[in-house]
Structure 1
Amino acid sequence: MTDTRIIVGAIAGAFGVHGEVRIKSFCADPEDIGEYSPLTSEDGTEYVLTLTRAIKNGFAAEIEGVETKEEADALRGVTLYADRAHLPSLPDDEFYHADLIGLTVLDTGGAVLGTVRNVLNHGAGDLLEVQGPELKTPVLLPFTLQNVPTVDLASGRIIADPPDGLFE
């Protein structure tokens, strides 16, 4: 929880010929991305974003200072971050992905299983990608209450009760 920025979306390229961009939102309520402006990129560049309309798979938006299709296309692939202070507080049973990455994963007996390297979602729910010294390849642990009964952000750990054979 030390990072003050959270990934909220990405620029997918130009939309039209007048400098608008196509925005992919990673927010729980996709249109909320417009409320977190100004957004920053990985290198700290600031983008003042105004959503203009919903489009297939995202939003069309204007970015202050971007006037042409070529300028908009040059921004394709830029990841957008919002300051954590601008984001809503979450209920006790919800977490920002950035808060989970780096946490130590322990089994219910206290043995270290590994560290969360990524949080993935392919449509059926979140998966914790766990990498550990005893693991040849990363393990994808379903992030459900049954498999992950405890997340302790203050202690930097997750207690997991994984399905039998998952970490073998």
Structure 2
Amino acid sequence: MVAFKPKRAAQAARDTQNVSTPNDLIVVARLGVAYGVKGWIKIHPFSHSPDALENAGVWWLAPYLPNQTDVPLSAWQAVEVQTIKPHSDEWVAVFADWDDRSIAENHKGWQVAVSRADFPNTDDNEFYWVDLIGATVVNHAGVTLGVLQGLLESAAHPVMQITGEGGEYLIPFVGAFVGEVDTTAKIVNVEWDVDATA
């Protein structure tokens, strides 16, 4: 079984009590049940690949509250990641000073966030959805379709959920329909007729 030490572990602060909470935290996973007796815990990433989790030396944890939309920065607790590794079809991790099963049990269901700055770089034509949410979507004729509100997972490919004055558009996020994407200006260009779906 392959175990990964976070790629940024050398940069992770040893004293996580004195680390200031970044203002660019992105929730990327949830903690599961305890694994074993030495403080390990199961991790449920929200994406197919836990690249951001593997890349960050410090994770930020906060209790999950069903009716809470925004977690105050003061609620996040920093933990130094010692190891994250695959286990069957899941992931498990252990943190510095988590040396007892009861610690892991007390954090079941907690949210896991990492700083956006800790996300690994993407290749050309690869994007993190967090960078696209809220982008303006414009078609080939220069007509603004609306704002990209979310991503719907389908068996074949992801689908952009766009809302605008013309209604809702569901556009596959594939090369046939998606042109230039400018994450800095937050603009996504698409090949899509206004009356195709609304």
| Same-fold status (TM-score > 0.5) | yes
Distance 1:140 1:15, change over 3 A: farther
Indicate yes or no: 2:122 matched with 1:90: yes
More deviation in 47-56 or 152-161?
47-56
Counterpart for residue 114 of structure 1: 146
| TM-score (normalizing by structure 1) | 0.77
SS in 2 for 1:85: helix
SS in 2 for 1:145: coil
Counterpart for residue 41 of structure 2: 21
Question: What stretches of structure 2 of length at least 5 have no aligned partner?
Answer: 1-22, 62-70
Asked whether the equivalents of residues 40 and 80 of structure 1 are also in contact (C-alpha less than 8 Å), the reply is: yes
Quote the offset at 1:89 in angstroms. Answer: 1.9
Q: 2:113 aligns with which of 72, 75, 81?
A: 81
Q: Structure 1: which amino acid aligns with 2:132? A: L
After superposition, give the CA deviation of every residue in 1:22-70 in whole Å (9 maximum; x if it has no partner). Answer: 0134567547623412111354321222336421232221123444444
Q: Structure 1: which amino acid aligns with 2:78? A: E
Q: Structure 2: which amino acid aligns with 1:134? A: G
Q: Structure 1: which amino acid aligns with 2:177? A: N
Cα root mean square deviation, aligned:
2.8
Q: 2:58 aligns with which of 26, 38, 44?
A: 38
Q: Distance in 2 between matches of 1:159 and 1:35?
A: 30
Q: Distance in 1 between matches of 2:182 and 2:84?
A: 40
After superposition, give the CA deviation of every residue in 1:75-127 in whole Å (9 maximum; x if it has no partner). Answer: 23333222233332222311111100000111211222121112233443222
Counterpart for residue 133 of structure 1: 165
Question: What stretches of structure 1 of length at least 5 have no aligned partner?
Answer: none
Q: Distance in 2 between matches of 1:134 and 1:165?
A: 9
| TM-score (normalizing by structure 2) | 0.67
Q: Distance in 1 between matches of 2:51 and 2:144?
A: 39
Q: Distance in 1 between matches of 2:150 and 2:87?
A: 29
